[in-house]
A and B are shown apart, each in its own frame.
Chain A
Amino acid sequence: MEKILEVRELSKQYSKVLAADKVSFDIGKGEIFALIGPNGAGKTTTIRMISTLLTPTSGDAVVAGHSVVNAPDKVRQCITYLPDEAGAYKTMTGMAYLKFMAGLFTSDKTTADSYVKRACEICGLGDRLRDKIGSYSRGMIRKLLLARAVMPRPKLAILDEPTSGLDVLNAIEIRKMIKSLAREEGTSFLLSSHNMLEIEFVSDRVGIISNGHLMVTGETAELKQRYSAANLEEVFERVVLENEVH
């Protein structure tokens, strides 16, 4: 399988805290990879380094052949990033926001229009796109942001807690959207989440991270078998406890 992301011994040291310690994993084309871990485990730090927002202390991540250390500008042309609990510009309408974001990914008007058209179809907000974002519910904002993240057909879409704070129906809709985009369009996804049920449903492979270390990676079924666990939640519990004992 063609590799879209190769993370090699990626580390991040804040003054006294080692937030990510030699994290390594790969993501193939059209694959959905989920990073799971307790609060402060290093998920967001790892994701931010791959998104070129933070500079790694050591190691590297290569996105579609471009290094986040040496060619961050090229990396940004291949990725989109949806931060955890991100908002949008409240004074803009949904449509104006999509047009603005499309204009950042391309200078060609026709291409930008095609991005916006695609985003309108994906988010399913219809006429509400003419309203100001300030009047949107949390679920509507999340759908708009997710549509924004996938509209330029990125090689890698990085979604930090994509369904956090959403009700069940909205969360299901977004999970289905991610799965269909990966299967039908070959978009690769790097997700992070606390919700094990969501991860088990949506991801092809998972990586469990604790105290900055990536403890284990593998397919859900394979991990359940390896740890003799009934579900991913049990796998997660055993891996994290094992790490704390060591």
Chain B
Amino acid sequence: MKFINLLKKELSELINKQMILGLAVTMIILMFVGNMMESTIGEAVSESYSINICDRDDTELTHTLLNELEASGASVKLCQAEGDDYSAILEENDIPSLVIIPEGFSDTLLTGGTSGQLISISAMDSAATMSNISNDNSGALALIEDRLTNILAIEAGISENQLALMDNPLVISEQTVVADNSAAISIDDVMNDVMMQNMILPIVVFVLIMMTSQMLISTISNEKIDKTLETLLSAPVSRTAVIAAKMLAAAAVALINAAVYMFGFSFFVSGATDSVTEEMNATAAGQFISVDAALEQLGLTLGAVDYIFIGLQLFLTIMICLSVSLILGAMANDIKSSQNMTMPILMLAMVPYLISMLADINSLPMIFRVIVYAIPFTHTFSAMSNLMFGNTAVFFGGLAYQAVVFLLCMFFALKLFKSDKIFTISLNFGQKARFKRNTK
């Protein structure tokens, strides 16, 4: 009953209008950005099948080429362009890219016996990858080259079958192997899909660690600074109940945050990757096997038990974070120092977060691997990857390590709270240095 009373108080302090509003705004922003990304990428992908072309040569060959391009399904827009002020040409025609067939192109090709020259103009609007997809002429140029080769081959008396053979003299049967399993799929397709699946967990873990530590550190330090902790601990209620209520409330609020962020980010990521995945699935299915079937065959799909283990590891990470935050919160002696107390946790979370985004922790040199895995949060960042690729020893070793770290941290946190140190401990290096100087 007293514990419920404490828990209700902690929850009422953590869950307020500002927090709910913040979560709602975050969710709306992520969903809005996800939708925006989906429509931007979809538009960019569809635009990449349209070709803006200026035919300055105006010969039979170029006319045939334009007809062939239209026949192959590309949307061809004929533009007028005089001179070599390319910026003005794009502006006049209101287009982001253009291919110019210069005068004498056909003569060079047919009688000169050398390669014809095309002018490709692409406008760069920003540094963002997506914004330049529709401005890139590489798709259009590849199609022009393909159609032109066809036309020239027919004129030279080469049959379509012979040309197809010359174009693709090899058929590569790609096989990807994961541990004992193999599937007929390109490694790039597998990597892209796995990378997308592994994208959300590290972000959620990072957000969770930050929120949990900040919440608990500020609640403990505020109680200490306002001296409400003294009132609370002199009341007929056990110190363990006080700590447990604080930890449970912080963990519950952190999990609500995690759920909202996970949902929001999955919406955002699916918005950004759906068009690409569909295309990838179609390509893979056309050639060999669908990506989803390949992942199943390679053992790269996670089952319910795997997700339970990942959840367990996430839970241990939160508990470690909470127990360390209890100690750090007790060391704060003013609001500024309580804000600084999140720094050690931030640093410990930042290292595995960045590494897991850029590299496979298991492929690091041994010494770095040991150092990075010594940070207990690392195991959660690499949990999904370890389970997918069958590194079960690393995964379960990490789980055991996290359990030991949690028990140790909790032992010290309880010891601190049950001793006088909770009222006397503080971390103020400046004050200590001044004290030493004054006593000399």
Contact = CB atoms under 8 A, between A and B. Distances in A.
Interface residues of A, number: 33
Interface string A44-77: 0000100111110000000000000000010011
Interface residues of B, number: 25
Interface in A12-43: 14
Contacts of A105: 235-236
Interface stretch (B107-115, B223-231, B336-344, B397-405): B223-231
Contacts of A91: 12-13, 16
A139 interface: no
Interface string B383-409: 000000000000000000000000000
Interface in B1-31: 1-2, 5-6, 8-9, 12-13, 16
A92 B236 contact: no
A84 B13 CA distance: 23
A76 B13 contact: no
B72 interface: no
A40 to B, nearest CB: 14
Nearest to A52: B234
B234 A51 contact: yes
B431 interface: no
Given A87-B228, A91-B13, A53 B234 contact: yes
B177 interface: no
A53 B236 contact: no
B13 A104 contact: no
A208 B6 CA distance: 38
B423 interface: yes
Nearest to B4: A103
B196 interface: no
A200 to B, nearest CB: 27
A73 B234 contact: no
Interface in A131-178: 145, 148, 158
B235 A104 contact: yes
A104 B230 contact: no
Given A81-B231, A81-B234, A89 B420 contact: no
Interface in B211-258: 226-228, 230-238
A86 B226 contact: yes
Tell which of A53, A79, A84 has the most Cβ of chain B within 10 Å. A53
A76 B241 CA distance: 15
A209 interface: no
A111 to B, nearest CB: 12
A14 B424 contact: yes
Given A48-B423, A87-B228, A100 B9 contact: yes
Contacts of B6: 104
Interface of A: 14, 48, 51-55, 73, 76-77, 79-89, 91-92, 96, 100-101, 103-105, 107, 145, 148, 158
5 nearest interchain CB pairs?
A87-B226, A103-B5, A107-B1, A81-B234, A86-B227
18 contacts: A51-B230, A53-B233, A54-B423, A79-B234, A80-B235, A81-B230, A83-B227, A83-B230, A85-B227, A86-B227, A87-B227, A89-B13, A91-B13, A91-B16, A100-B8, A103-B1, A104-B2, A148-B231
